[in-house]
Amino acid sequence: MELLKNHLRNIDVNEKIKAHHLFVLLTSFYILFSSISSFSGFLALFSAIFFYMSYIVGERLYYILNLDDISNCASIFNLKKPYRPNYPKHYKFGLFLMFIGILFIFFDILWVKDIPLFDPTSRRFLNVSFTALSHLLLLGWAIVVASNFQLSRIRIALYSIVFSALIMLLGYRTNVMILFLSILFVMYYSNKIKTKELIYSTFGIFLILLSMSILRLYVLGSGGNPIFSRIDLTMSIFDIIVKNFNGVFNGLIHYCSIYSYIGTFPGPRTVVANSIGVYGVTITPTIFGAVIGDYGTLGIIPYFGILGIFLGLFYKISESLKGIYLGVYAILISYLLVGIETGILDFDVILFYIFGFILCIYIILLKILHY
């Protein structure tokens, strides 16, 4: 707590909005607009605050490891030359990922022989592997924007709308939100937009999400508030997990996150749904519910501690080096914020986090080899 107090005392009013700020803010929003018990609300808020403090530790670790002078370090592949990010290679790598992603969007549509955006019931027939590979479009576009400093804001916005329309065909609103959020974060941390513009743009994304939710309800012939009813439902599932399934799953939820992709286990959200007596649909347990259900209440300490330190360190690296580092970081924090509701329970998303961790290790190795 002393670390948190010192941080709040020394905070700069001109400091950029970061992932740990948004995580605590959004978690508080979910708690306030739901009817969960006080104890469950406390656990969610404690997890968010612990993540906040761990993120600060990760930022300080960047300076403890002396990574702020990484440009003076030698490249692993050429010890005689100082390390400089190869932005053209990052850009080409991003384009390659985008090509793969777009290709598998069309493969997925051909597989299901329908467009899930207009027929939500057909979404259940999508190919799991094809859908996962289609998400490379999101990662690739974020890397392209972070690596090409000549792209204007207007071109970025227009291309983002086109790519969001493509990914929207699969019927997943979450992916559209990830795309827009990640590009906003890339532009924000590249100083292409200011804090005020970030806030306005985020509000615009919320309106887009709301419109898509209303459209989906209209197609399904349902009514109700598409945002707050979903928040209350998701948090009520978290409440049930805290009260009745605390540590009961023994890692099964996260285990299924990986092995469901090869067809040997049901999906993690299916496991949660079946456990509370609901069949034929998937249910999101929140990022807090997935951790507590698998590892118990004490599990939130190592989980959010490690996650916070990693993302805090990765933020400082991406802020300094841009390129692929910033693109991947923007994707990770976008999935983190969306994961407050859905949890980090998709194999492709877990691989993105592993990729980010490898990039961090690579930069640390550069520093070690320098000495």
Tens of pLDDT, residue by residue over 111-165, are: 998 888 888 778 888 898 999 999 999 999 999 999 999 999 999 999 999 999 9
pLDDT at 223 over 60: no
Residue 34 and residue 235 in contact, taking contact as beta carbons nearer than 8 Å: yes
Q: What's this model's pTM, rounded to 2 decimal places?
A: 0.92
pLDDT of residue 117: 81
pLDDT at 79 over 70: no
d(CA 335, CA 355): 14
pLDDT of residue 80: 57
Provide the residue count of the chain: 371
Give Cα separations from 273 to 7, 220, 241, 365 (angstroms): 40, 21, 11, 43
The average pLDDT across 58-76 equals 79
pLDDT of residue 368: 77
pLDDT of residue 9: 55
pLDDT at 222 over 70: no
| Residue pLDDT, tens place only, 252-295 | 999 999 998 887 889 999 999 999 988 888 899 999 999 999 99
Average pLDDT taken over every residue of the chain: 88
Enter the tokens of residue 62. Answer: 């960047």
- Highest mean pLDDT of the ranges 64-68, 80-84, 283-287: 283-287
Enter the tokens of residue 93. Answer: 């790598």
What is the percentage of the chain residues whose pLDDT exceeds 70?
87
